[in-house]
Structure formats: structure tokens, C-alpha cells
């Protein structure tokens, strides 16, 4: 089969690999129909994720058809159309019983990280019964790719951790796919203001179409001042960091209101300064999280009922044999206008 392989920092290739088989009774193999590229994959290619070693097939998102199941799999059968969760969960360990699937002792974020992932024609899914979701008949499978990772990530790590409330002011730093997913799902809670901050005017225009009440271009280094001006000097009740850079986290520190929350979503590859000399008395909270995907069933129903349309995030489509072009397009979103790219096998 064809597979996209991480070869070390800055190195990647499309290679021929053996089709994976089930290894454990609870495994399934899935034929990938559609997958996508995540910002985390770009962090891996930069060398920011040391758990992902050279030779790994990347990817942790996608939809497909069950090809084979181990004897311990009871919820799925050959031919079933399934949504693949970016998080694998045994459902039995202490962390899973607490709903912290991301810290599953035999799972968590392993696809495209510590085991081979979904940017290939086939993938092996551990703990299939609790790591796959059935796709309802007639569902838009392309839209559901967004439910593998970015929609639950933006919602759980940004909106829920940020405790977005009716009437609140939310500032989202980063108008990429994760920031836009947070924007879409923050509207469940009717905040009074959602301020989107980015360097790219094109992405800010998309954010306005998606429901942002205000947008701020941070290119001039005065984004915090602009947010304060838009909020009568208070700042944001919830500041969502959706980039993963020191500068964007520091911006959240500068614009969060007293009593507010900084909800970090971004993948950070270098240290960030925490200015407690300013913040120690401000009654703020800082949250971190790896998505648990506990909200995926709810989000699936929300998409099915057309309350939100994650397909709006898709801007480009490629075949698997053009995945190198897809990475080039996705990695240069400022010039290509790319948000999420769909890769078909």
C-alpha cells in the first residue's frame, strides 16, 4: 500500500508499505477512504514531537471501511463505514473510566505518533470497539473527517476548558483550523463577543463568516491593546491559544481579563515564559489538555442535525499519490488559503 512516512525533522516521503494486519483480538484494520493533515503533523515534521520517530506513517484522522476485525471486536464488522478517532481508548483503565481517554494506559494519541497512522491506504486500529464510531447512513463522510480531531479538540481543549459562558467575551488566538473549530463550537454557549486574532487577513475574513463578532490582525504587535479597547479595558474572559508558539501564548497572558481563563490548545515545541510577576494577583486560571474525544458522539449528532457544518473548513482536495503537494499546500496556508485538506485514497 501507499503510505506517507516521517523520515526525520524536515524529511518526508510517500512509500510502499505492507498492508497492516490485526495484532491483538481487539484490533481492526480499516481501509481509508478519506483522511487529512493536522497542524500536529507539521509539528512532527519540524521535530517538535520526540515520541514520533523516523519511519512512522503519519496521520490520526479519517473515515474508512472496516476490512478485518480481531475476535474480540463485537461492535464492528467487515464492510462497516466508520469514523476513526484520533484517540485510541481501551475503555477499561483508570484514565478511561475518568473520561481521560487521551491518557489511556494502552492507547491515547498513538495513531501517527507511536504507531502507524491514517495517511495510508489501510490502518490498524487498536481497541476498535471504543476507538471507532459508526457512520450513519447518508452522512457526509467528508465532513465527518473533521470529527476525528479538530472539532472535538477545539471544543474540549478550548471551549470546555475555557468555560465559555453566555454573555462572555472570548478571544481566540489563531484562525487556523483548530481556532475556527473553537469558534464554531463556542457559539453553542452564546458568548456576547468572539474576537478572532491572526496575522492573516484572509483567515480573519473566514472567521467573520463563521461567526466571529470582531477580528484583530496582530501583525503590528498591538493585538492585546486592541482587545482591551474592544472590551472597555477589561480583556477577554476566555483566551484560547490555538497556535502553539511562545508569542501567541504570551499574547493570551496580555489580553486575559481578571478572573479569566487561558485555555491552551496549541502544541508547544519550545518553552514559554509565564509572567507571574503580573498575573499572580489576577485570579486567572491556565488549562492544558490533549483532546479526549469524549464529546465526539454529541458532536456527531450536532453535525447530523446541521447545527454546525464542519465541511466549511475544507478548502482543498488531493489524491493520496499527491500527498506531498497536499503538505506543501497545507503548510503554506497563508499564501494558498488552505484550512483543511482532504486526501482521498
What is the CATH classification number for the domain harbouring 232? 3.40.50.720
Domain tally, the chain? 2
Q: What is the pLDDT of residue 129?
A: 98
Above pLDDT 90, what percent of the chain? 97
- Position 262 scores a pLDDT of 98
Predicted confidence at residue 337, as pLDDT, reads 92
How far from 117 is each of 6, 13, 55, 60, 89, CA to CA, in Å?
Answer: 11, 14, 11, 6, 15
Say what the alpha-carbon torsion angle 328, 333, 336, 339 is, to the nearest 10 degrees.
100
CB 242 within 8 A of CB 174: yes
pTM here is 0.95
* 134 lies in the same domain as 162: no
Residues 111 and 21 in one domain: yes
Strands 193-198 and 81-84: unpaired
Q: Region 188-208: what's the mean pLDDT?
A: 97
User: Quick one: 17 and 131 in the same domain?
Assistant: yes
Asked if residue 9 and residue 139 are part of one domain, the reply reads: yes
Q: Is residue 255 within 8 Å of 232, Cβ to Cβ?
A: no
Summarize pLDDT for 215-228 with one digit per residue, the tens. 999 999 999 999 99
**Domain match, 161 and 282 both:** yes
DSSP code of residue 58: P
**Tell me, what's the pLDDT at 152?**
97
Write out pLDDT tens, residues 286-328.
Answer: 999 999 999 999 999 999 998 999 999 999 999 999 999 999 9
Q: pLDDT tier at 19 (50, 70, 90 boundaries)?
A: very high
Spatial strand order of the sheet with 11-16 comes to 11-16, 2-8, 56-57
Using alpha carbons, list the distances in angstroms from residue 268 to 43, 164, 245, 284.
9, 23, 6, 21
In this prediction, residues 202-206 reach a mean pLDDT of 95
CA pair distance 56, 4, nearest whole angstrom: 8
Alpha carbons 7 and 194: distance in angstroms, whole number: 40
Concatenated DSSP letters of 100-139:
-GGG-TT-BS-BTTTB--SSBSEEEESSHHHHEEEPPTT-
- Looking at the fold, whether 13 and 138 belong to one and the same domain comes out as yes
| Alpha helices for 197-290 (secondary structure H) | 201-210, 223-230, 246-255, 276-279
**Could you tell me if 144 and 174 lie in one domain?**
no
Pairing of strands 193-198, 214-217: parallel
**Pair 124, 41 in one domain:** yes
Q: Are 12 and 45 in contact (CB under 8 A)?
A: yes
What does the alpha-carbon distance between residue 176 and residue 136 come to, in Å, rounded to a whole number?
A: 28
Distance of CA 169 to the CA centre of its chain: 23
For the four alpha carbons of 8, 10, 15 and 19, in that order, the dihedral sign comes to positive
The reply to whether 224 and 172 lie within a common domain is yes
Task: Mark whether 132 and 18 lie in a shared domain.
Answer: yes
Residue range 242-294, pLDDT digits in tens: 999 999 999 999 999 999 999 999 999 899 999 999 999 999 999 999 999 99
CA distance 245 to 42: 13
pLDDT (0 to 100) of residue 138? 87
Q: Return phi, psi of residue 41, to 5°.
A: -60, -35
CATH number at 86 reads 3.90.180.10
Measure the CA–CA gap between 110 and 86, rounded to whole angstroms: 8
Are residues 24 and 42 both part of a single domain?
A: yes
Q: Are residues 124 and 214 in the same domain?
A: no
Q: What is the pLDDT of residues 28-50, one digit of tens each?
A: 999 999 999 999 999 999 998 99
Q: What is the mean pLDDT of the chain?
A: 96
Host domain of residue 142: 2-149+292-344
Amino acid at each position: 500500500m501507499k503510505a506517507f512516512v516521517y523520515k526525520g525533522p524536515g524529511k518526508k516521503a510517500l512509500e510502499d508499505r505492507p498492508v497492516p494486519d490485526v495484532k491483538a483480538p481487539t484490533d481492526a484494520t480499516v481501509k481509508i477512504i478519506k483522511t487529512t493533515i493536522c497542524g500536529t503533523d507539521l509539528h512532527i515534521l519540524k521535530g517538535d514531537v520526540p515520541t514520533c520517530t523516523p519511519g512512522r506513517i503519519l496521520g490520526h484522522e479519517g473515515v474508512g471501511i472496516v476490512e478485518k476485525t480481531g475476535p474480540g471486536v463485537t461492535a464492528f464488522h467487515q464492510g462497516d463505514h466508520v469514523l476513526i478517532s484520533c484517540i485510541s481508548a481501551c475503555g477499561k483503565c483508570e484514565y478511561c473510566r475518568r473520561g481521560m481517554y487521551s491518557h489511556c494506559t494502552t492507547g491515547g494519541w498513538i495513531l501517527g505518533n507511536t504507531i502507524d497512522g491514517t495517511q495510508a491506504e489501510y490502518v490498524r486500529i487498536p481497541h476498535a470497539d471504543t476507538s471507532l464510531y459508526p457512520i450513519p447512513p447518508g452522512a457526509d463522510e467528508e465532513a465527518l473527517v473533521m470529527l476525528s480531531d479538530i472539532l472535538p479538540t477545539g471544543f474540549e481543549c478550548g471551549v470546555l476548558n475555557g468555560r465559555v459562558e453566555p454573555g462572555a467575551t472570548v478571544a481566540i488566538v489563531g484562525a487556523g483550523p483548530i481556532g475556527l473549530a473553537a469558534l464554531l463550537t463556542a457559539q453553542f454557549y452564546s458568548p456576547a463577543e468572539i474576537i478572532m486574532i491572526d496575522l492573516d487577513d484572509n483567515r480573519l475574513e473566514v472567521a467573520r463568516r463563521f461567526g466571529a463578532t470582531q477580528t484583530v490582525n496582530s501583525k503590528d504587535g498591538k493585538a492585546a491593546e486592541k482587545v482591551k479597547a474592544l472590551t472597555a479595558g477589561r480583556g477577554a474572559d476566555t483566551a484560547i491559544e490555538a497556535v502553539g508558539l511562545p508569542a501567541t501564548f504570551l499574547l493570551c497572558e496580555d489580553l486575559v481579563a481578571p478572573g479569566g481563563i487561558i485555555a491552551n490548545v496549541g502544541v508547544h515545541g519550545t518553552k514559554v515564559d509565564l509572567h507571574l510577576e503580573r498575573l499572580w494577583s489576577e485570579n486567572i486560571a491556565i488549562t492544558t489538555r490533549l483532546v479526549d474525544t469524549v464529546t465526539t458522539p454529541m458532536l456527531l449528532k450536532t453535525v447530523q442535525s446541521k447545527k454546525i457544518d464542519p465541511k466549511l473548513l475544507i478548502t482543498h482536495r488531493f489524491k493520496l499519490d499527491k500527498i506531498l503537494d497536499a503538505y506543501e499546500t497545507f503548510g503554506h496556508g497563508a499564501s494558498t488559503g488552505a484550512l483543511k485538506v482532504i486526501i482521498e485514497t
